[in-house]
Amino acid sequence: MKKSPLMWAIIMIVIGLIGLIFVLSANRASPDDAFSSNGQMIYYTGASRGGQIPRTVGGAGMMGPGMMGASACVDCHGEDGRGGQVDMMYQSTEIPDIRYSSLTSPHTEDETETPGWTDAEIARAIREGIEPDGNRIKSPMPRWNMTDAEISDVIDYLKELDTR
């Protein structure tokens, strides 16, 4: 009995589906397993183990509100948290160092001595985009709608960045 091309196609699809099921069942590691902590997961993905974290961008600018909402901390501040110069939409933006020691240590900005930030001030900057001196953090910094636990996890991760 000669098999038609349609029969061969069906057989190949069935074999492919069996292979796909095998691969998926053999690799049951959760994406969460790739991160050592919830803070690291938030830093790299913009999502926590509890799910995606809602956010909006701080200013309208050329790209409109919310355009940067899909980004994660690492996209601007880098893997080491040191920030630097980022070029976006025909302009360069200086992204600050957000390692915990940098945020919480006194430093000089524009010839003015600035005290270190507290954890509550870091949380306010993340949620509301407001610096300790009351100035608004400019776009593209998103405002993150994080729970207290998520903020704590991120701050713990910023402390880990100090060791890198």
d(CA 96, CA 82): 7
pLDDT reading at 68 higher than 50: no
| pLDDT tens digits, one per residue of 97-143 | 999 999 999 988 778 888 999 999 999 999 999 999 999 988 788 89
- For the segment 82-93, the average pLDDT, to the nearest whole number, is 83
3 vs 70, residue with greater confidence: 3
pLDDT of the residue at 107: 82
Q: What is the pTM of this model?
A: 0.72
Contacts for 81 with CB less than 8 Å, ≥ 6 apart: 73, 97, 98, 99, 102, 158, 161, 164
Listing DSSP states for 64-96 in one string gives -TTTTTT--HHHHH-TTS--EEEEETTEEEEEP
Q: What ranges do the domains of the chain cover?
A: 56-164
